[in-house]
Chain A
Amino acid sequence: MTAASWPALGTTASVYVTDANALEPARAAVEQELDAIDRACSRFRDDSDLMRANARAGHPAPVGPLLAEAIAVALRAARLTGGMVDPTIGEALVLAGYDRDFAQLRPTTGPLRAVRVPGWHAVKLDREHALLTLPCGVRLDLGATAKALAADRAAAAAARGADGAGVLVNLGGDIAVAGAAPAQGWTVGVGDDHRGLADQTLTIRGGGLATSSTVVRCWGPGRHHIIDPRTGIPAGPHWRTASVAAASCVDANTASTAAIVLGPSAPAWLAERDLPARLVARDGAVTIVGSWPQELAAA
């Protein structure tokens, strides 16, 4: 397994290939996809399609095909989670303090300010005419799904460019695989922080694996990037980390984010959907859901 890593999308991007000769074309394909996603969906660059669309709230705004796809994915996530993963949390994130690139945030304390989340039903996306209409004052944030979508798209693009080699793309913990997997599967770790040590090691052969956490992208007590749309403030502290495997990274990330928001009811919700998951409570207690493997003892 050969790999390359570089900073991208405010986190670390990595591409792994089964054939060393495929690394460069795979990496080039991933970089191209990430650049396109950043230009379309970033909330932190004024020239992104998303920022332009947010600025035109109240009026129909033209959107490019990639942003339209990302919004459609976000709306689908909202629908399939009963609104637990909602793209209309942009204003709530800003009020919580996440108003600039995470690397530029400073620790914040004090009471949280809540704002009513408008809800995904308020978003009107006309894909046929490439028009997005947001109600006045509504700001979209696609952070819950766009990075996972980028991982899925990048893995598929890299596999096409890798001439049949297997490819794994890891975008800050959002993992997507494409092409022929290694004979033993892809060995991956799961943990609180994608930059840290793994708490468990497992193998996957396809689809995606995503982890949502309240302890990494945070900037003060109770301040993290996963907003509970029901309250308009960061989700409660029941789970600190949720890892989910699914048929795609988008589905995995949708479910892991929903699990953080759902809190105590997350295991039942995941089990109903047959999604293997590993949930870590605030005190470190691990809950395994469905066919997620039990941890093996170190040799």
Chain B
Amino acid sequence: MGSNRRDQLVQRVRAARWAAGVGAAGLTAAFSVAAANAFKGHDGRKAATGAAPQQTTKTKARHVTVPAPDKVPSIASDGSLQPPEQSPQAAPPVQQQAPPQSQQAPQQQVPQPQAAPPVSGGS
């Protein structure tokens, strides 16, 4: 084989390698774009601009809200109904009279130096 023939073959091999490299790079780019657009919610154009208000909104809507500790009502984190610090104590029955106010009573304020004890009952 002459030297010219060998040089031609080397040139062809180099050209083929270059073409294969360019092709691989092109396919990689094409697959990347395809993959980037394969999932709902991705918007390459908006991402490229750096301003994506719609995406921000969606992110907020999906965000699981965990209130700050100071915003949680004290009872909401309480795991049980709380008994009284001191249990009720028995008391001798007082001389009973029906409380002076009733549900139908006209609006009034009645200061009473010795008011009848309050009654916990149905209403």
Binding site for B on A (CB under 8 A): 1-7, 10-12, 14, 16, 20, 23, 27, 69, 72-73, 76, 80, 103, 126-129, 147, 168, 170-175, 185-198, 200-217, 241, 243, 245-248, 250-251, 254-255, 273-276, 290-296, 298-299
Contacts and interface: CB of A to CB of B under 8 A. Distances in A.
A2 B113 contact: yes
Interface in B74-123: 75-76, 78-94, 96, 98-105, 107-115, 117-123
A294 B90 contact: yes
Contacts of B96: 189, 197-198
A189 B118 contact: yes
Interface string B60-85: 00000101000111011011111111
Contacts of A69: 73
B123 A11 contact: yes
Interface size range on B against A:
35 or more
Contact of A103 (B67, B82, B98, B103): B103
Ranked 9 nearest A-B pairs via Cβ? A213-B122, A172-B123, A216-B122, A3-B115, A247-B82, A293-B90, A291-B87, A194-B121, A5-B101
Contact of B93 (A168, A175, A201, A255): A201
Contact of B91 (A76, A187, A197): A187
A187 B111 contact: no
Given A6-B109, A202-B91, A206-B86, A193 B75 contact: no
5 contacts: A127-B72, A201-B94, A209-B88, A214-B122, A276-B84
Interface SS of chain B: loop
A276 B87 contact: yes
Given A274-B83, A293-B90, A296-B90, A20 B111 contact: yes
Contact of A175 (B71, B99, B110, B120): B120
Contacts of A243: 120
Interface of B: 65, 67, 71-73, 75-76, 78-94, 96, 98-105, 107-115, 117-123
A4 to B, nearest CB: 4
Contacts of B104: 103
A73 B117 contact: no
A194 B119 contact: yes
B121 A204 contact: no
Nearest to B114: A1
Contact of A72 (B76, B94, B108): B76
Contacts of B81: 80, 246, 251, 254-255, 273, 275
Contacts of A293: 87-90
B90 to A, nearest CB: 4
Given A2-B112, A69-B73, 20 more contacts: A1-B114, A2-B115, A3-B115, A5-B105, A174-B123, A185-B91, A188-B119, A191-B120, A194-B121, A194-B123, A195-B123, A201-B92, A214-B122, A216-B121, A217-B122, A247-B83, A276-B88, A290-B83, A293-B89, A296-B91
